[in-house]
Amino acid sequence: AQSVTQLGSHVSVSEGALVLLRCNYSSSVPPYLFWYVQYPNQGLQLLLKYTTGATLVKGINGFEAEFKKSETSFHLTKPSAHMSDAAEYFCAVSAPHASGGSYIPTFGRGTSLIVHP
Amino acid sequence: DAGVTQSPTHLIKTRGQQVTLRCSPKSGHDTVSWYQQALGQGPQFIFQYYEEEERQRGNFPDRFSGHQFPNYSSELNVNALLLGDSALYLCASSWAARTDTQYFGPGTRLTVL
C-alpha cells in the first residue's frame, strides 16, 4: 500500500522568495516519487521524478526535490518564486503493481501555491 | 507531435444519464489510464488499458467502464450518473514498458445536475 501526505493545502509566498512545498509518503516497497503542476483548467504536467540513484532531482522551471528515505519525504523547492509559478502542485508515489507490474500513482490532495507581487 | 487529447472539454448531464468521454494518446504510446479528480482533490486512478484490455482497475464501481481501440485511443463510459460523479476526468498515456512516466491530457469537466 502507498499513500502521500502534502502538508498545507495553501502556501503563500512573495515573488522572489523561496518556495517550499512539503510531501511525505508511505510505501511498502522502494518508491518512485513525482511532483506534478496543474494550472487552472488544465491537466497535470510533470515537474520532476525520482526513481533511483541521485537523491537530489532537478526538474523544469527551476524546481528541485530531494528524496530523504529516513524522513520518508520528497519536498519540492525553488529558490525564487515567479508570479507564473502560481498553480496547484501534486506529489505522487508509485511502485510496480503487484499483479500487473504497471506503475499506478497515488496522488496527494495538492497544495495551492499563491505568489504575491 | 500532438500530446494527449481529450473530448469534449466540458459536459453537462443529469442524474441517471450515461456519458462517454474520449481520449487520444500521445503519438507512439500504447497504454491509456483514466483518473477522476474531484474539486479540491488529487486525481484518483480509475483503470488502465493496454492491448484493448483492462490491465488494472482502481476502487470504482462497475458503472465506470472503458474501452481501448486498435489505434490505442480510449473511451470512458459512466452509467447511471450520480451527483458525486461531477469531476475533472483526466486521461494519461504511456508506453507499456514505462508506465512510470505518464503524460496527461487537459481533461474533461463533467457536471452532473
Which residues make Cβ contacts (< 8 Å) with residue A70, sequence separation at least 6?
none
Residue pair A92/A108 in contact (Cβ under 8 Å)? The answer is yes
Q: Would you give the DSSP letter of residue A97?
A: -
Q: Please report the pLDDT score of residue A2 as a whole number.
A: 87
- β-strand partners of B81: none
Residue B100's pLDDT is what? 82
Strand partners, A37: A45, A89
pLDDT of residue A101: 66
Please state the rounded mean pLDDT for residues B18-34.
Answer: 96
Q: Which amino acid is at A59?
A: G
Q: If pLDDT is split at 50, 70 and 90, which confidence band does B2 have?
A: confident
Is the per-residue pLDDT at A100 higher than 70?
Answer: no
**Residue of B7, B56, B93 to mutate for A, most A C-beta atoms under 10 A:** B56
So what's the pLDDT on residue A31?
A: 87
Closest Cα partner for A6 from A18, A19, A24?
Answer: A24
**What's the rounded Cα separation, in Å, for the pair A59 and A48?**
5
Q: Could you tell me which of A74, A78, A112 has the C-alpha nearest to residue A92? A: A74
**β-bridge pairing A10-14 and A32-38:** unpaired
| Position B11 confidence tier, pLDDT thresholds 50, 70, 90 | very high
In percent, the amount of chain A with pLDDT more than 70 equals: 96
Nearest Cα of chain A lies from the Cα of B10 at a distance, in angstroms, of 10
Q: Say if residues A110 and A9 touch (Cβ distance below 8 Å).
A: yes
Q: Do B100 and A44 touch (CB under 8 A)?
A: no
d(CA A103, CA A114): 31
Asked if the Cβ–Cβ distance from B33 to A45 is below 8 Å, we say no
Q: Which residue has the cell 523544469?
A: A60
On chain B, the residues whose CB falls within 8 A of the CB of A109 are 40-42
Say how far apart CA A88 and CA A116 lie, in whole Å: 15
User: How confident is residue B1, by pLDDT bands cut at 50, 70 and 90?
Assistant: low
User: pLDDT tens across A68-82, in order?
Assistant: 999 999 999 999 999
CA B53/CA B71 separation, integer angstroms = 13
pLDDT, mean over chain A: 92
Q: What is the dihedral of CA B48, B49, B53, B57, to 10 degrees?
A: 10
- Determine contact, residues A48/A63, Cβ cutoff 8 Å: yes
Give residue B47's pLDDT. 95
Peptide bond into B8 cis (omega under 30): yes
pLDDT one-digit tens code per residue, B34-93: 999 999 899 999 999 999 999 999 999 999 999 999 999 999 999 999 999 999 999 999
Residue A6 · residue A23 · CB < 8 Å: yes
pLDDT value, residue A99 = 58
Residues of B whose CB is below 8 A from A44: 43, 90, 92, 104
d(CA B1, CA B25): 11
Q: Which residue of B has its CA nearest to A108?
A: B42
Q: Report CA dihedral (B2, B5, B8, B13) to the nearest 10 degrees.
A: -170
Which pLDDT does position A98 carry in this prediction? 59
Write the pLDDT tens digit of every residue in A24-65.
Answer: 999 888 889 999 999 988 889 999 999 988 899 999 999 999
Mutation target among A104, A107, A112 for the B interface, most CBs of B within 10 A: A104
Q: What is the percent of chain A with per-residue pLDDT over 90, rounded to a whole number?
A: 77
